[in-house]
Amino acid sequence: MSLTVKKIFVIVRKNMKIYYLKAPIIIFGIIFPFFLFLAFSIGRDVSVAYLFPGIISITMFFSSSSIGPAIPPWETNMKTLERILSTPISITSVVFGDIISGFLYGFALTIVPFLLSIFYTALQSYAVVLLAIILGSFCFSSLGTLISTYPTDTPSTSMMISSLVRFPIIFISGVFISVNDLPAAGKYISFISPLTYIVDIIRFSFGQKNFMAIWIDFLVVFLFTILFIISSLLLHKKFLPRRL
């Protein structure tokens, strides 16, 4: 067991050194979501307390899910994937290494707006927000790793697929407009997004109206995470050999 954990963190350390400062990761994980949120918040007559849940949520979502889609196509293109899989390391270890890499990246970046919110707003529960960041970062990192299963050796293709998945999720999850303010059809659609439940938890912690019990939000995000992990493992085991 300890040997497996060691192998996983070898993958994590490799990913941190190589991919955290890659241009597409910085653009799609940090710069783009910042300007996207800025475009939707400027000119709106809303309080700082109302904006922070959106800032935290969008930072968490984009940063955590940006690492996974970049790694397999890059390593396929550079022919390093063959070397990794020729070592005594399982595909399961590689997948979990990628997920943890995305989790750590997303968690580290999301902590920044969270700490800022402590100084500028009156949070009702720091622990709830911190737990939501931990679970949400892991969930969205698992989603990013699931998106990366498409067997391509072109990083731009993988990032494009990632954007096609992530953008609709952003607009149906109550980041910019509260789910309570959406029409009935919009509310039903929002239930299929894991980001909806994270936003709901964070809005509740900032004293804003939520639409579901917090324990249900956490449970649903946990179930989404399990679904994404299992799907990632199954699909990577199926498609990774096609990359060789």
Would you give the DSSP letter of residue 31? I
Task: Round the CA-based radius of gyration of the chain to a whole number and report it.
Answer: 18
Residue type, position 223, single letter: L
Res 197: pLDDT: 93
Tell me the pLDDT tens digit for each residue of 59-85. 899 989 988 888 888 887 777 777 777
Contacts of 54 (CB under 8 A, 6+ apart): 37, 41, 175, 176, 199
* CA atoms of 161 and 165, how far apart (whole Å): 6
Angle of helix 214-239 relative to helix 194-205, nearest 10 degrees, comes to 150
User: 42 phi and psi, to 5 degrees?
Assistant: -65, 135
CA–CA separation, 100 vs 120, rounded Å? 30
- pLDDT tens sequence across 207-240: 777 777 889 999 999 999 999 999 999 998 888 7
Q: Considering the chain, what is the average pLDDT of its residues?
A: 84
Task: Give CA 110 to chain center in angstroms.
Answer: 10
Which of left, alpha, beta for 154 (phi over 0: left; psi -120 to 50: alpha)? Answer: beta
What 3-state class would DSSP assign to 184?
Answer: helix
SS3 category, 21: coil
* Tens-digit pLDDT profile for residues 2-44: 778 888 888 899 888 888 777 777 777 777 777 777 767 676 6
Residue-wise pLDDT tens digits, 139-188 = 999 999 999 888 777 777 777 888 888 888 888 887 877 777 777 777 88
Tokens, residue 86: 């020729």
Distance, CA of 98 to CA of 88 (rounded, Å): 17
**pTM of the entire predicted model:** 0.89
Distance CA 151, CA 240 (A): 7
Indicate if the pLDDT at residue 47 is higher than 90: no
